[in-house]
Structure 1
Amino acid sequence: MKRTAFVALAALALTSSAQLIPFFTDRKQPAAPGARTPDRLNQKPMAGNQLNNPGIQLPPSNTDNDNPSSGPPTGDVILSDVLGTQPSIQIFAGFTLDIPSVSSRLNNGNQNTTVLAPLNRAITSLPRKPWEDAREYAALGAEAYSGSEGEDRAQRNLRRFAEAHIVPVSPWKEGEKVQSLGGGTVWWEKRDGKTLVMPGSVEVEGVVSRVANGEVWVVKEVVNYT
């Protein structure tokens, strides 16, 4: 795959995870309705009512979510502008660039989304890379991801991983069950002072961005994607 400058930067900044960035062929996809062409070298700064406090925040309570005024702010900044600005989730942000179904959604100002972005350390601590599948190794051996067919398998697995972390609603109410882009049913609840994505009790560290088409939630573990 033709590397983007963003992924290269993430790999250099996170040397312990550099091997996690796969090489795939460049696959051009038509822009989704409402999408705009990314301009990552000339992005607008986040300011004013475009973003709430950029520090770590917790998801709002049910009461807040039921209030229409508590939804994502209006403005020009969208998820594709901000996802790559957080060093702690740069590995996942890099993955989203390689998955057309995800990147086109994050770049579409007409589709609201909650991104469950795992911390870098959550991804690097996985027993295998997100595009690897133990069943494929068992069936195909060490060359499971070699050649064009192996590349297709890896791309498919990485898509499954990324889409499991994309929730196609925002604001997302506590207890509201939604199908992720990957097809799994997820919801969140507060328990013992923690915000947990269910099933699996994946703890939310906080909300790092609230923009026109959704929110970026940092999670301490990966969501079940198998």
Structure 2
Amino acid sequence: MSETAYPVTPRNRVKRLHERGRYDHETVHAILDAAMICHIAYVIDGQPYCTPTAFWREGNHLYWHGSSASRMLRVQKPGIPVCLTVTHLDSLVLARCGFNHSVDYRSAMCFGTAHIVEDLEEKSKALDIMIDRFYPGRNAELRPSTTQELKATMVIGMTIEEASGKIRAKGVGDEEEDYALPIYAARFPVTQVIGAAEPCPRMPEGVPTPPGLAGFTPGRRLDEIMTESYRTTYGTGHGDD
């Protein structure tokens, strides 16, 4: 693996519209770090499954967690090949023919071998950093997890062995001879935004909003907040050099 890009192999090479492919760490990691949810694909006894879950990145390692009773996590415990994907839908694209209708998007596909984080102390630290990765500084404000809570939670990780990003950001792309046709064509931007907070009705009066949540203001884009939170927790360029 080079210091700035993932190796290009038959497994991760972008074959369809290869010019949209990206293999450099900076681009792939930016797509990952702007997301909170991924989909993890794996095979159990010949049957493929794909599970959505929260995840986080540390350098070229990816982590996710769930219940110790989870079939997905239990089957990954001995170490199995997995494919982790993330997609950001950025716009709907209406063209002048059905063939050229499309979407603008940013996606990343990462390959590796899942492994369980067994050590209780290491697991505790991983779960703490997961909270801070999404909500900077929040872990210091929380009560510590109990030993039973830690035992009920499984943390799985993988080293990114190979990865690719794929980006479309061209908007409407019609055949040259079709642009003069009197047919409506447009790009509709799509974003996920944060709504107004709904404080727990059982929270004692006078509890202030933590400073680490200052960026969670109504109307802000979720991908921007996730990227900002990542940089606050890990620093700019973490794992991208």
Instruction: Give TM-score, length-normalised by structure 1.
Output: 0.22
- Of structures 1 and 2, the larger Rg is shown by 2
Structure (1/2) with the larger helix percentage: 1
Q: 1 or 2, which has the higher strand percentage?
A: 2
